[in-house]
């Protein structure tokens, strides 16, 4: 997940917001304001909205503390943490490397919900001292803010402990399976499968509640289930991909038989004579006998068909100078991580100033389909 708004750094970790975070902030502010309006007619509009808005801002601080707890434990165990992104359903810590052992994974995962739980208990204790209870929650604005914040933090701790990988609870489960069977890849797959089962239960129960009781809370449960299902599925896939690529280098997967195309050629001629007739999937663009860039089938779509005649290939190519380059002996997994991090579809493979080939997402998929190592755990033994 990429953050849209960068807020700064804490302990070298970039803190950012995803746009979807505003949805949850507005939901909390509006529903609390509506609730206070109903139960406290004597509060001024400023008090009602002040309490609601301060609660959602402090909710953000609490989420951040939850994620910082993950990140600080990860750092103390020697992992590098790049960024924290807060989004609608919580936060994500972008921990660059995988935990080296089951114990580290366990502590990195569980410290987040623990932090939320402790914050929740402390805030509710203070709020209760100020007269707050769940049934009579609007005794005074300060008590209301602290009480609701505490309540939300407890919910956050419970939600995150749902054993649906990649939620914290799923990671804790994974670390326990890993500790028992000593197989990191296999344990992620089991945790992701359990995560999918939990997600489907959420959806079924949520829809059942919705249709039987016409209860909108049920729709929320179904929505959370759908989110969990998607996350569990993609982490299952990711593990398969990482396992399939382990041990391979960029040179093993890259496309090196790229057809050469003259830069002055029109896009029309390129499509008619090269794209449709050569079996090649990668094309290098030549200028004065040098490779100037690459052009992909997707690049032709950036120009409307009517302009194909007048547009040269070199004006739609990706110049080599602007492409991210990698050496041929880089591990394929590292190159894939780089593409994911920088949102790239292809990398130029260079050695001693010469283009050796193109490493692309499409290439990786074809490679995994041919070497159907996907889904096998034989490599666990080598790990
Ligand atoms: Zn967490």
Do 104 and 182 have their domain in common? no
> What pTM value is reported for the model?
0.66
Do 104 and 188 have their domain in common? no
Quote the ligand 1 centre to 73 CA distance (angstroms). Answer: 12
Tell which wins on pLDDT, 298 or 169.
169
Confidence bin at 214 (pLDDT 50/70/90): low
CATH number for position 262: 3.10.580.10
Least reliable range by pLDDT among 142-151, 266-275, 365-374:
365-374
Quote the ligand 1 centre to 61 CA distance (angstroms). Answer: 14
Quick one: what percent of the chain has pLDDT higher than 90? 10
Mapping DSSP to helix (H, G, I), strand (E, B) and coil, where does residue 375 land? coil
**Structure-token match 């803190």, residue found:** 15
- Rounded to the nearest integer, the mean pLDDT of the chain is 82
Q: Quick check: 291 and 355 in contact, CB under 8 A?
A: yes
Helix (H) or strand (E) holding 129: helix 102-129
Do 236 and 255 have their domain in common? no
Domain count, the chain: 3
Per the structure, the complete domain to which residue 236 belongs is given by: 174-245
- Say what the alpha-carbon torsion angle 327, 330, 336, 337 is, to the nearest 10 degrees: -110
Confidence bin at 334 (pLDDT 50/70/90): confident
Least reliable range by pLDDT among 17-21, 52-56, 355-359:
17-21
Quote the ligand 1 centre to 168 CA distance (angstroms). Answer: 5
- Residue 214 belongs to some domain of the structure: yes
Quote the ligand 1 centre to 67 CA distance (angstroms). Answer: 6
**Among 311, 331, 306, CA closest to 248:** 331
Quick one: what percent of the chain has pLDDT higher than 70? 92
What is the mean predicted confidence (pLDDT) over 290-309?
Answer: 85
Do 213 and 287 have their domain in common? no
Handedness of CA 160, 163, 166, 171 (dihedral sign): positive
Quote the ligand 1 centre to 156 CA distance (angstroms). Answer: 9
Quote the ligand 1 centre to 169 CA distance (angstroms). Answer: 8
Quote the ligand 1 centre to 19 CA distance (angstroms). Answer: 19
Q: Quick check: 112 and 139 in contact, CB under 8 A?
A: no
Do 31 and 125 have their domain in common? yes
Angle at 358 between CA 356 and CA 360, to 5 degrees: 155
Do 28 and 52 have their domain in common? yes
Given 193, 213, 245, the domain boundary residue is 245
Two structure tokens written together for 282: 């990668």
Quote the ligand 1 centre to 291 CA distance (angstroms). Answer: 47
pLDDT at residue 1, as a whole number: 59
Flag whether pLDDT at 302 surpasses 50: yes
Given 245, 262, 296, the domain boundary residue is 245
Quote the ligand 1 centre to 144 CA distance (angstroms). Answer: 25
Quote the ligand 1 centre to 333 CA distance (angstroms). Answer: 25
Distance from chain centroid for Cα 34: 33
Q: How many CA atoms lie within 13 A of 271 on its CB side?
A: 17
What is the mean predicted confidence (pLDDT) over 332-342?
Answer: 82
């Amino acid at each position: 997940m990429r953050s849209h708004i960068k807020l700064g750094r804490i302990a070298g970790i970039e803190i950012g917001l995803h746009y979807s975070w505003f949805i949850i902030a507005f939901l909390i502010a509006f529903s609390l304001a509506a609730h206070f309006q109903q139960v406290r007619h004597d509060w001024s509009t400023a008090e009602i909205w002040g309490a609601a808005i301060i609660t959602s801002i402090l909710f953000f601080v609490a989420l951040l503390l939850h994620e910082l707890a993950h990140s600080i434990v990860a750092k103390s165990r020697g992992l590098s943490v790049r960024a924290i992104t807060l989004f609608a359903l919580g936060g994500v810590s972008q921990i660059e490397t995988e935990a080296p052992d089951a114990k580290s994974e366990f502590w990195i995962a569980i410290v987040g919900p623990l932090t939320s739980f402790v914050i929740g208990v402390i805030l509710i204790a203070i709020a209760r001292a100020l007269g707050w209870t769940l049934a009579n929650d609007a005794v005074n604005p300060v008590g209301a803010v602290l009480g609701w914040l505490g309540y939300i933090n407890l919910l956050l701790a419970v939600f995150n402990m749902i054993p649906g990988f990649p939620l914290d609870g799923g990671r804790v489960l994974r670390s326990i399976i890993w500790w028992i069977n000593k197989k990191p890849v296999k344990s992620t797959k089991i945790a992701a499968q359990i995560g999918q089962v939990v997600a489907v239960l959420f959806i079924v129960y949520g829809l059942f509640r919705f249709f039987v009781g016409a209860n909108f809370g049920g729709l929320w449960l179904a929505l959370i289930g759908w989110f969990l299902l998607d996350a569990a599925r993609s982490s299952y896939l990711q593990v398969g991909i990482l396992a399939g690529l382990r041990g391979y280098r960029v040179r093993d997967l890259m496309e090196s038989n790229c057809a050469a195309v003259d830069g002055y050629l029109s896009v029309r001629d390129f499509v008619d004579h090269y794209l449709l007739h050569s079996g090649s999937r990668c094309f290098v663009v030549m200028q004065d006998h040098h490779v100037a860039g690459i052009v992909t089938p997707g690049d032709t779509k950036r120009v409307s068909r009517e302009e194909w005649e007048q547009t040269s290939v070199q004006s739609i190519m990706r110049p080599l100078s602007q492409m991210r380059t990698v050496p041929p002996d880089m591990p394929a997994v590292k190159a894939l991580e780089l593409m994911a991090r920088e949102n790239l579809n292809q990398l130029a493979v260079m050695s001693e100033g010469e283009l050796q080939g193109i490493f692309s997402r499409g290439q990786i998929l074809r490679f995994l389909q041919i070497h159907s190592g996907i889904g096998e755990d034989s490599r666990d033994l080598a790990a």
